[in-house]
Amino acid sequence: MEYAVLSNSSGDPIDVSGDVRKSAHELEWHSVENDGEGNWRYALKRTREAAAACLAVGILANILVAIPLTTELVAPAHAQVIPKSLEQGGTDAALRERRNAWTVGVAGGQLSGTYMTLADELAQVLDDGDNLRVVPIVTYGAASNLDDLLYLRQVDVVMAQSDVFEYFRTQRKTPNLEQRIHYIIRLPVSEMHVLAGADIKSIEDLRGRKVSFGPAGSASSLTGTIVFQRLGVKVEQVLFDNPTALEKLKSGELAALVRVIGKPVGFFAQIPPNSGLHLVPIPFSKIFTDHYTLGEFSSQEYPTLVPQGDKIDTIAVPAVLAVFNWPKNTVRYRRVQRFTEALFTKWDKFMEPHRHPKWRDVNLAATVPGWTRRRRGDAESYLSEGRRISAKGSEGRRIWVVPEVSGSLGYGPYSGAA
């Protein structure tokens, strides 16, 4: 019996390509003693195994040859870099100190509200790693923010409204409020939204009806209540969260819901057409001139709630970015000071088109009667000299900062604009 084996004439253990390509009659034959059918089958099996092994080695050799060529043609991938803030090590005590040293808590408001959006954008713009970290805090709303600033730990800056301050001073009689709470800048006004069904034409139509004023602690739970009291319209007041109130309004369980929030806000803008809901006008009169101003809604802001081309009058309330007046040279004082300086240094970034449009309505030098402005070092000196700072808005218009005029609210649809 004879069997075939592959021979490698080159002597190179890798170079088997020639052997693989040989035809059967080119193989070298060797004789073996045929002592039976078992030996014949064994020889045939060994021949097949040898052929398969040589084929596998040939494929592997081709792969090994191709790898260097592929490496030369494809550029190596760059290593990804882990943020340095996550790479930092040290003892627990050192890490705890570093994380807290320059961290400032900013109380915004309800998650779906304008103040929370502003607080979040403060963090986006002012964050500077361990040099300054701004932590936005979701709260009950603008009315409770002043409470948080006075009594809640780790709250350094809040969005608050001027009528809330006055309520705490005159009704709650919070001691030494003027000395304890100061403000950095005056924020844009927040408008009072009263959403109702088609059967409600005026605030008077809500007399004796069930109206939601938002959750307790929200701006609407205080400002909305004050406005209805001054108008002499007594309603059945309930305090639902706003999504729940909207569903109850649609079902007819409520006659209206009230939100005091800076326009435009998605909660109202996203109400579909033909919902049967609309914004109720609130007439401005002398009973509101102490802490409020005239506001309005347009069909451009709320196309499904205001008829095309129309405007609806409402009440608006001024707001401030308030801080606790910590004693100088204390840790909390230095944190707020660094926050304040960063705010003015990076103010132009709040004018970028993707930021909330309310930032472009801020007049940095505007005052708020009854409040004390926090001194801002160089920024305070700059404004007191009567110089002007301009910042370009998303549509090219300029918002001018004018010298302070004490004793004037200065609120209006074009206040500070030129």
Cα–Cα dist 162/370, whole Å: 9
pLDDT in tens, 288-316: 998 899 999 999 999 999 999 899 999 99
Cα dist. 18→9, 28, 241, 323 in Å?
9, 14, 82, 85
Residue 21 in this model has a pLDDT that exceeds 70: no
Q: Give long-range contacts, CB 8 A cutoff, 24+ apart: 127-131.
A: 128/342, 129/84, 129/85, 130/85, 130/98, 130/99, 130/101, 130/102, 131/102, 131/338
pLDDT in tens, 171-228: 889 999 999 999 999 998 999 999 999 999 999 999 999 999 999 989 899 999 999 9
Q: Are 235 and 207 in contact, with CB atoms under 8 Å apart?
A: yes
pLDDT in tens, 80-118: 776 666 666 678 887 777 777 899 999 998 888 888 999
The conformation of residue 224, written as its DSSP 8-state character, comes to: I
Model pLDDT, residue 238: 97
pLDDT in tens, 214-257: 999 898 999 999 999 999 999 999 999 999 999 999 999 999 99
Q: CA angle, 75 as apex, 71 and 78 as ends, to 5°?
A: 120
Q: Are 195 and 277 in contact, with CB atoms under 8 Å apart?
A: yes
Cα–Cα dist 259/193, whole Å: 5
Mean pLDDT, range 264-279, rounded to an integer: 93
CA 255 from centroid of its chain's CA atoms: 33
Mean pLDDT, range 322-351, rounded to an integer: 94
Q: Which of 123-158 are b and which e, b meaning 16 or more Cβ less than 10 Å from the residue's Cβ?
A: bebbeeeeebbbebbebbbbbbbbbbbeeeeebbbb
| Three-state DSSP class for residue 314 | strand
Contacts of 7 (CB under 8 A, 6+ apart): 19, 27, 28
The conformation of residue 113, written as its DSSP 8-state character, comes to: S
- In this prediction the pTM is 0.66
Q: Are 339 and 104 in contact, with CB atoms under 8 Å apart?
A: yes
Contacts of 397 (CB under 8 A, 6+ apart): 360, 417
**DSSP strand pairing (157-161 vs 103-109):** parallel
Cα–Cα dist 120/344, whole Å: 17
Strands, E, within 201-241: which ranges? 210-212, 236-238
Categorize the per-residue pLDDT at 22 as very low, low, confident or very high, splitting at 50, 70 and 90.
very low
DSSP 138-182: E-S-HHHHHHHHHHSTT--EEEEEHHHHHHHHHTS--TTHHHHEE
Residue 333 in this model has a pLDDT that exceeds 90: yes
What is the rounded average pLDDT for all residues in the chain? 78
Model pLDDT, residue 56: 58
